[in-house]
Amino acid sequence: MPRFHGLILVLGILAALLWAELPGSSRTAALPSTGLVGTVQSADGKPMEGVAVSARAQDKNISTSVYTNQEGEYFFPPLDAGEYRMWAQAVGFELTRAEKTISSGRQIRQDFTLKPVADFSSQLSDAEWMESLPDDTPADRRMKKVIHNNCVVCHGPGFALAKRFDAAGWGVIMNTMIEKQTLPDSPNRKLLQAYKEDLIAYLTKVRGPGPSPMKRFWRRLYPWQNIGLRARRLLGILPIMGVQ
């Protein structure tokens, strides 16, 4: 019986993988001729995939949300006729709103163009903070791993990275972390001491007073694609960090 359950689990994981890897054409069928539909694009005219688009009737407190496909298209399931508030949102972009009147049997179209925000850091989750840190060079990748393996044990990355300091300020923070938050002769303290100056330089570059090289991105995954990614990570097909 345990072997049978294991077989069912493997088959379920493989089904999720196959679903997540379906070619884009199978998920980008023509928009329906009726209902609430539209597209989402960035300010440079490129379609945005995986953007959440929401709608709520003026007299209701329940919202319905859908996600754009690879062509930036979205459509809602049948909605009751009436006045609706709509909004589209993605990390790194301004929240964009609209209002539409929905009537039965008609196609109602609402297209969105999302403008990037100057400072998108306030929108980031802890995982997105780590994903946004630059890792284009071996030195940057090393510092990113040091932060991930040592600095987020006691607090989330957003707790520290949401602030901006110059080199002197980051130096004070590093000294405080080493002296107050680590034990004498502990591996953590030794590692932070060894990389102290490199970490200060990296943090000053990333979250200093000047322009930041942090990567701008938005969530591109549908909920069912997340299942596929988790399954592939479970099988060891993809690494936990740095999924492209």
Q: What is the per-residue pLDDT across 120-144, written as a single tens digit (0 to 9) for each?
A: 777 788 888 888 899 989 999 999 9
Q: What is the DSSP letter of 50?
A: T
What is the pLDDT at residue 91?
A: 79
Q: What is the pLDDT of residue 217?
A: 57
Q: Which residues of the chain have pLDDT under 70?
A: 1-29, 216-244
Residue 104 backbone dihedrals phi, psi, to 5 degrees: -65, 140
- Give the per-residue pLDDT at 154: 79
Please say whether the beta carbons of 8 and 219 come within 8 A: no
> How confident is the model at residue 168, as a pLDDT?
95
Distance, in Å, from the CA atom of 152 to the CA atom of 99, rounded to the nearest integer, reads 42
pLDDT score of 6: 52
Q: Rounded to whole angstroms, what are the CA distances from 88 to 40, 59, 109, 181, 214?
A: 8, 20, 14, 41, 23
Q: What is the CA radius of gyration of the chain?
A: 23
